[in-house]
Structure 1
């Protein structure tokens, strides 16, 4: 992997391309003349002077307040021309102050990152800035103030881990070099490994979106608009129940309900999301190396309100899918957003690979996220509701179902197998399970049936 994408522009150019009315935070201490750093590093003073002349900046970051797409925000912009965007003690002080200003003003933080990592000339004083910045990310998250990171080219070293990966939403420029290990410290065999690209980080669930420079202004504006900090003490009204898009009649028996839910022509989650939201953006991945294309998560706008969503698309979900849904619900809880979940799965992936990937803990995480959420969750079963893989995404008190959906302790075929019944008993078993929409209403499992 040799990136063909040019190095991210200087901090001021980056800010001008994305924001208006930028006002830099003032009052920073200047480097004293001839400053050689905490290690008294030979030549460091001259390096700082040359870096300042090259970049026009006094440090590797520029921090200030601006307007991005109509949303007031605090910007932290790295300048790679200043010693490779490396982080020293003064860099950490500037970033810490920016986060503090964002929390007081309740304005989202946008980190525009282009860095090679820690500054060697400041040794452990530099490295310790990582824990300093990680603390700021956590304090800001606890305050319910969003943090969106944009990974430029390159984003390597500890800053990827402490600042970039610590954001609520991670965007990356196309073809950017991203990784904990920079090019000069990788093994020769891995210098050009594709794992160190923004695209590979998206494919492995570590980045939410990969965008071009021309796409970034509109994408970033949409995210900030949807993540405007809300009053943490005032819970939102629940998301309204989506209208049914498929059949309107109710199934006459259990096996018919199952067949209707498995109909390949039945409307699926993408159709429901398109019908429900005027606009939406997607979160991708579980942040620990996994992506499940059968679990769609993100935030959309409906009738002026931002609503988070997690939607199953009819496949057997993997641990990565359940972890991504849990991440989405936890994010919505922090930012006081109502949640919509769409249930449609035959059940959790029951393969050996899924078991080794932590299926049980992933389901536990999602069950816990739903059970512990302060914000209201609205659930609609739009197809198959198979066992725990479906139940994990369903709110216990606010679940509805469409006429062409079913909800069951397990699929009728598996239930018959557990009961040592033959294939000829599957349909009868479906009836006994009372899995039809009208049965579920009578049993008190769902609150009602959504109509078109």
Structure 2
């Protein structure tokens, strides 16, 4: 059996600088709890003798990776890390400390859910946590969760799934249903950290040794955001290709579709010093053709959304909208790299809500108060590309095009012969220089130089 970390061991795994908070007094609770559950007081006493803790949660101020934060850690050995009224008191106090001191909140979670011996009083603690989390979110402060083994029930559905960045320990059991209450024929892989990553519900699986560095980089990216100074747009990336300007529309399409053209991964690696990927739409889907996350350019955090040249799927647009809204809330500028032949339009994409997902991406860009910078690095295919483009701050590379529709499809809709595709491409005025002349793009990025 895998050895579970205690609350104190989990804290020690991420920081050597932790100052525990004094537990808030809270309301007076009868010895056997609000339900007068016979033997509850004895169970608590045995849990304290076994773990050395007075409750299932420890919290206080910490420094992780050189960045201050409020740290919460669950003790699973104390009644299964369950949430009772006293747990709610401590959690609410931790959130309030983070809000009043304007610090990020990091939760190291290991819980089986609400405490049965306190009945509905225990269950309503989830509302307290949700309210406290919402207040912290409204204050523009980040919340990070590390899911230990196990993270189930209301703890997963509030502190865990409600966090901005969700990391998990390898092999951790994660799910709303714990192992004793899920259907007998349930696929066990769906309740693991690795399974939750595949289905887009967490951002990364991180081993114990990597946790301090990973959390530190995230705190550096998210905790350093905001401030009172005017927020500058993300700089336009240098073009990575020395391609010349295309002579014709069809030449532009050919350059954009070239297999040797630099792709999003190369642009992100050249632009950022560190990448902190975010994964999944939190609705059961991922899109490997869309890269999202936060990056550090020097000490400056910038959120990124980058299409990789494939048809973008609904999960991709939902993930992009999630990241853009998080950046907007935290005061981080956004960079989008556009490169797609268009939105996926197969039957599966339609069943997954392609239209609604694209609309949500458009809305996220339109609502953003932080500056958004866009560089079209390849194909700009119709609304599927435009949904991730900044209306007033879009640039293009020489080996890119942007069009209302692909020339082949335009010719087919106009009932033209295949021979007319090249002429149609010219008529669409999709070349980089055309886009600048039309006012769609602000300039053409060049290698190692400001945009033209």
2:281–2:316 Cα contact (<8 Å) kept:
yes
1:107–1:229 Cα contact (<8 Å) kept:
no
Identify the match of residue 416 of structure 1 among 405, 408, 411. 411
Aligned match of 2:265: 270
Aligned match of 1:161: 157
User: What is the rounded CA distance, in whole Å, between the counterparts of 2:127 and 2:30 in structure 1?
Assistant: 28
Identify the match of residue 286 of structure 2 among 278, 287, 291. 291
TM-aligned CA deviation for residue 303 of structure 1: 2.7
1:296–1:313 Cα contact (<8 Å) kept:
yes
Aligned match of 2:248: 253
User: What is the rounded CA distance, in whole Å, between the counterparts of 1:331 and 1:54 in structure 2?
Assistant: 41
User: What is the rounded CA distance, in whole Å, between the counterparts of 1:306 and 1:219 in structure 2?
Assistant: 15
Residues 261, 231 of structure 1: alpha-carbon distance in 2 compared, 3 angstrom cutoff: closer
Aligned match of 1:281: 276
Aligned match of 2:314: 319
TM-aligned CA deviation for residue 247 of structure 1: 3.0
TM-aligned CA deviation for residue 30 of structure 1: 8.4
User: What is the rounded CA distance, in whole Å, between the counterparts of 1:138 and 1:326 in structure 2?
Assistant: 19
2:13–2:208 Cα contact (<8 Å) kept:
no
- Provide TM-score, normalisation by structure 2: 0.97
TM-aligned CA deviation for residue 400 of structure 1: 0.2
| SS of structure 2 residue aligned to 1:267 | coil
The question of 1:121 aligning with 2:112 is answered no
The question of 1:39 aligning with 2:65 is answered no
Aligned match of 1:387: 382
User: C-alpha offsets along residues 147-175 of structure 1, whole Å, 9 cap, x if unaligned?
Assistant: 00000000011110111000000001110
Query: What is the correspondence of 1:32-431 to structure 2 with a 5 Å cutoff?
Result: 35-190=31-186, 193-228=188-223, 230-231=225-226, 234-431=229-426
TM-aligned CA deviation for residue 25 of structure 1: 1.0
Aligned match of 2:450: none
User: What is the rounded CA distance, in whole Å, between the counterparts of 1:355 and 1:116 in structure 2?
Assistant: 37
User: C-alpha offsets along residues 45-93 of structure 1, whole Å, 9 cap, x if unaligned?
Assistant: 1000000111111000001001001000000100011001000000011
- Residue ranges of structure 2 left out of the alignment (5+ in a row): 448-452
User: What is the rounded CA distance, in whole Å, between the counterparts of 1:368 and 1:235 in structure 2?
Assistant: 23
1:5–1:175 Cα contact (<8 Å) kept:
no
2:70–2:94 Cα contact (<8 Å) kept:
yes
1:5–1:176 Cα contact (<8 Å) kept:
no
User: C-alpha offsets along residues 19-52 of structure 1, whole Å, 9 cap, x if unaligned?
Assistant: 1321111143389898100000011010000001
1:343–1:384 Cα contact (<8 Å) kept:
yes
Aligned match of 1:12: 8
User: What is the rounded CA distance, in whole Å, between the counterparts of 1:143 and 1:234 in structure 2?
Assistant: 17
User: What is the rounded CA distance, in whole Å, between the counterparts of 1:110 and 1:27 in structure 2?
Assistant: 18
CA RMSD of aligned residues (A): 1.4
2:30–2:36 Cα contact (<8 Å) kept:
no
User: What is the rounded CA distance, in whole Å, between the counterparts of 1:314 and 1:383 in structure 2?
Assistant: 7
Question: Which has the higher mean CA deviation after the structures are superposed, 383-392 or 29-38?
Answer: 29-38
1:235–1:336 Cα contact (<8 Å) kept:
no
1:6–1:153 Cα contact (<8 Å) kept:
no
User: What is the rounded CA distance, in whole Å, between the counterparts of 1:432 and 1:390 in structure 2?
Assistant: 20
Question: Which has the higher mean CA deviation after the structures are superposed, 222-231 or 152-161?
Answer: 222-231
TM-aligned CA deviation for residue 230 of structure 1: 3.7
Question: Which has the higher mean CA deviation after the structures are superposed, 418-427 or 399-408?
Answer: 418-427
1:235–1:375 Cα contact (<8 Å) kept:
no
User: What is the rounded CA distance, in whole Å, between the counterparts of 1:30 and 1:89 in structure 2?
Assistant: 9
**Matched length:** 447
- Residue ranges of structure 1 left out of the alignment (5+ in a row): none
Question: Which has the higher mean CA deviation after the structures are superposed, 33-42 or 177-186?
Answer: 33-42
TM-aligned CA deviation for residue 248 of structure 1: 3.5
- Provide TM-score, normalisation by structure 1: 0.97
